[in-house]
Structure 1
Amino acid sequence: MSQIIIGVGEYGVSNRPGDEIKTFALGSCVAVIFLDPRTGTLGMLHVALPESEINKTKSLDKPGYFADTGIPALLAEMARLGCSPQGQGMVVKLCGGANIMDTNEIFQIGKCNALSIKKLLWIYEMDVVAEDLGGTFSRSVSVSVETGEIILSSPGRPDWKL
């Protein structure tokens, strides 16, 4: 069994049953999780911002940083393992999108991230089957490639499943 750690703006995929994909400290960031039941492939993306227009250079170096470049990059990586490049048949789940430091709710980056992701998924005709979004606390997310089970954790809270 190996752990694949996903940092901010990164994504990873695996179809090895013993693997686990994990990301830490999702504040306003959102984890996008794709599971292809046909191939047993799991992918996770750690989105920091909704749109790459604000920094085209960064989107070229780290496409996973933005929703609009990260989702196509993750789908392309999963396609290399036999998944549909357009995401057909994928099970989609979302976690994160909290409002942690913006107490006056001026920027609402977490909400903007989640809405941008959902808009893009709608274009791909992909439905979100489960989500754990919002709130005022960060989350870490761990997903088993074998079972697809998602465990979330946050300081001072018991772990929970999505």
Structure 2
Amino acid sequence: MSNMITIGISDMKVVKGGEQLVTYALGSCVGICLFDPLRKVGGLGHIMLPKYPVANPKENKYRFADSCIKEMLRDMERLGASRSQLVAKIAGGAKMFEVSGDSAFGNIGQRNVMAVKAMLAYEKIPIKAQDTGLNYGRTLYFTTEDGVMTVKSFANGVKVY
């Protein structure tokens, strides 16, 4: 492994082989790992919201589940990935705050997870592992040599997928 690449909030990176990607502060946000195991092409996106606002075309495409996944697929194919080989692993989507009446704001993590799953299903990409929901933050590490996703949290320790 030559290097650790940090993916910020509303960010996405795609690499070919051997790199480790990391994203911090996954609360209600969702980290999306896509991996082509044959070509060792991997990507990690850190989304904040479910759906790209078509009415505001200047928005950051990496902030939203649907547009981030589309951009990640495009970039991975440019590096030689085959869509038919891709697998996904996801983490995050926590309910970080109790909001009376369980409003849409308080439930954004669940909405993010649902949007990610819907987009991956639409693109016919199977989800091989997930660490989502509950009420705690996570840090996600993704290794593009072997497709391993490691999730660390204060509340739950270290889990490897």
- The normalised TM-score by structure 1 is 0.90
Find the counterpart in structure 2 of residue 94 from structure 1. Answer: 90
The amino acid across from 1:51 in the alignment is K
Q: Deviations over 1:55-85 (max 9, x none)?
A: 62453xx21100111110001111110013x
C-alpha distance in 2 between matches for 1:97 and 1:91: 19
Q: CA deviation at 1:54?
A: 7.3
For these two proteins, the number of residue pairs brought into alignment is 157
Find the counterpart in structure 1 of residue 113 from structure 2. Answer: 114
Find the counterpart in structure 1 of residue 34 from structure 2. Answer: 34
Find the counterpart in structure 1 of residue 9 from structure 2. Answer: 8
Using the TM superposition, name which of 93-102 and 49-58 deviates more.
Answer: 49-58
Could you list the runs of 5+ residues in structure 2 that have no partner in the other structure? none
Q: Where do 1:53-72 residues align within 5 Å? A: 53=53, 56-59=56-59, 62-72=60-70
RMSD: 1.6
Find the counterpart in structure 1 of residue 128 from structure 2. Answer: 129
C-alpha distance in 1 between matches for 2:58 and 2:157: 36
- The normalised TM-score by structure 2 is 0.90
Could you list the runs of 5+ residues in structure 1 that have no partner in the other structure? none
